[in-house]
Amino acid sequence: MDRDDSSPKMGLQVEVDSKSGFCYGVIKAVRQAENFLKNNSHIYSLGAIVHNDTELARLENLGMKIIQHSDIERIEDVDIFIRAHGEPPSTYKRAAERGLVVMDCTCPVVLKLQERIRKGYRQVKERGGTLLIFGKKGHAEVNGLIGQVDGDAVIIEREEDLNSIDFSRALTIFSQTTMDTVHYSAIISSIKRRVSEAGGDSGKFEYHNTICRQVSSRHPHLRLYCGKHDVIIFVSGGQSSNGRVLFETCRSVNARAYKIESSKDLDISWFNPGETVGVCGATSTPMWQLNEIAEIIRNY
Ligand code: SF4
C-alpha cells in the first residue's frame, strides 16, 4: 500500500540490525566473484551465489551468469564458480573432464564439515553403522555433503525420517551448517531415546554440533533485538534456508515480524505513527539492501 504524499510523515524510529548482513562465507564468495569480474566480462556460477534476488540482479549486471549442473555438459572454455555451499566431488571431476577452470569459493566452514563427514563415515562404517546428516533434502550444501560419501548416508529433515533407521547399530550424525539448533537437539534426544528402546548401546551413537556459529549466534541476538522493537522487517530470499529458520525466531518473539524479499513487499499498514522498527535479515541478505529498505520506511 502506498502512502498518500500529502499525508504527514509517520515519524518511525528505524534501526538496522548491525549484526545482520552477509555471513563470512558469503562475503568471501561475493568478493572473489566481484574481483574476477573486474578483469573478465563473465563468470558462470553453478547455482545462485546467494539466495537473494536483489543481490543476484546486481551481480548479473556485473557479468555473472547462473548455470545448472546440466550446463557443464555444453559450456566450453569458461571459468565456473563454486559458491559457498560447496559441491560433491563428482562436480569437480566432471568439470575437469570437460576442461573447465574451477574457481572454488566453498566456505571454509563447509570444507571442514565435508572433511569431518568423510572421516566420520569411515569410522562408523568400520563399526557396521550408518551415517546420518541432519539437513534439508535437496539443499545444495546437503548434496555436497552426501556426495562426500557417494550418497551412502541418510538425510534426516524431520522426526519421521528416523523411522527407517536401525537403532541397534552404530550411528553418527552431523548437521548442515544452517539448521536450527533447537530442532537439532530434539532430533538428537529422539535418537538417544530410540537407541535405548531398541536395546542398543548409547556409546555407539556419536553426534556432532556442526551448525555454523555465524547462524546459531544470531538466534539469541535476534530474540533480544526483536523484543526491543514494535515492528520487525526481516529481509530474506524465499529459497534461503537460514532465512526461514532465523525468521521463525523473530516471529516467536514479536508477532509483528514480517518477512519480505524486497522493498516491493513492504506494506505501510504494518506501522503506526511513532513506532520503532527493526530491520534485519538472513546471512545471504546484503547490508546495502537492509539500509535501502530502512530508508524507505523512514520516509513513510
Ligand atoms: S552460514 Fe557459516 S557455513 Fe554457511 S556460508 Fe556462512 S559462514 Fe559459511
Instruction: Write the pLDDT tens digit of every residue in 262-287.
Output: 999 999 999 999 999 999 999 999 99
CA distances from 44 to 15, 31, 62, 66, 144 (A): 36, 15, 12, 6, 18
Model confidence at 241, in pLDDT bands (50, 70, 90)?
Answer: confident
In this predicted structure, the answer to whether residue 5 has a pLDDT above a threshold of 70 is: no
pLDDT of residue 199: 86
Q: Where are the domains of the chain?
A: 13-21+215-298, 24-106, 109-211
% residues pLDDT > 90 (the chain): 87
Just give the CATH number of 13-21+215-298: 3.40.1010.20
214 Cβ below 6 A of ligand 1: yes
Residue 259 CB partners (closer than 8 Å, separation 6+)? 234, 235, 236, 243, 247
| CA 181 to ligand 1 centroid distance, Å | 15
Q: What is the mean pLDDT of residues 73-91?
A: 93
With beta carbons less than 8 A apart as the criterion, state whether 17 and 278 touch. yes
pLDDT tens digit sequence for 122-175: 999 999 999 999 999 999 999 999 999 999 999 999 999 999 999 999 999 999
Model confidence at 97, in pLDDT bands (50, 70, 90)?
Answer: very high
Return the number of other C-beta atoms located less than 10 Å from residue 74's C-beta: 8
Q: What is the mean pLDDT of residues 232-243?
A: 92
Residue 163 CB partners (closer than 8 Å, separation 6+)? none
pLDDT of residue 9: 85
Q: What is the mean pLDDT of residues 64-88?
A: 93
pLDDT of residue 8: 58
178 Cβ below 6 A of ligand 1: yes
142 Cβ below 6 A of ligand 1: no
Query: Parallel, antiparallel, or unpaired: how do β-strands 13-16 and 43-46 relate?
Result: unpaired
**Does 13-21+215-298 match 24-106 in CATH topology?**
no
| CA 184 to ligand 1 centroid distance, Å | 17
245 Cβ below 6 A of ligand 1: no
Q: What is the mean pLDDT of residues 12-33?
A: 95
Closest C-alpha to ligand 1, atom 7: 25
Taking all residues of the chain, what is their mean pLDDT, rounded to a whole number?
94
Model confidence at 32, in pLDDT bands (50, 70, 90)?
Answer: very high
| CA 23 to ligand 1 centroid distance, Å | 6
pLDDT tens digit sequence for 10-22: 999 999 999 999 9
The predicted model scores a pTM of 0.88
pLDDT tens digit sequence for 114-135: 999 999 999 999 999 999 999 9
In this predicted structure, the answer to whether residue 218 has a pLDDT above a threshold of 70 is: yes
25 Cβ below 6 A of ligand 1: yes
With beta carbons less than 8 A apart as the criterion, state whether 106 and 91 touch. no
- Among 124-128, 190-194, 239-243, 250-254, the range scoring the smallest mean pLDDT is 239-243
pLDDT of residue 7: 54
- To 10 degrees, what angle do helices 24-39 and 108-126 make? 120
Q: What is the mean pLDDT of residues 222-233?
A: 97
- In three-state form (DSSP H/G/I as H, E/B as E, the rest C), the secondary structure along the chain is CCCCCCCCCCCCEEEECCCCCCCHHHHHHHHHHHHHHHHCCCEEEECCCCCCHHHHHHHHHHCEEEECHHHHHCCCCCEEEECCCCCCHHHHHHHHHCCCEEEECCCHHHHHHHHHHHHHHHHHHHCCCEEEEECCCCCHHHHHHHHHHCCCCEEECCHHHHHHCCCCCCEEEEECCCCCHHHHHHHHHHHHHHHHHCCCCHHHEEECCCCCHHHHCHHHHHHHHHHHCCEEEEECCCCCHHHHHHHHHHHHHCCCEEEECCHHHCCHHHCCCCCEEEEEECCCCCHHHHHHHHHHHHCC
Between 202 and 132, name the one with better pLDDT. Answer: 132
Model confidence at 26, in pLDDT bands (50, 70, 90)?
Answer: very high
In this predicted structure, the answer to whether residue 200 has a pLDDT above a threshold of 90 is: no
% residues pLDDT > 70 (the chain): 97
Closest C-alpha to ligand 1, atom 5: 25
110 Cβ below 6 A of ligand 1: yes
Pocket test for ligand 1, best of 177, 213, 241 (most atoms within 8 A of CB): 177
In this predicted structure, the answer to whether residue 2 has a pLDDT above a threshold of 50 is: no
pLDDT of residue 78: 87
107 Cβ below 6 A of ligand 1: yes
Nearest ligand 1 atom to the CA of 22 is 6
Q: Of 141, 159, 160, 197, which residue is the catalytic one?
A: 141
Fold of 24-106: Rossmann fold (3.40.50)
Fold of 109-211: Cobalt-precorrin-4 Transmethylase; domain 1 (3.40.1010)
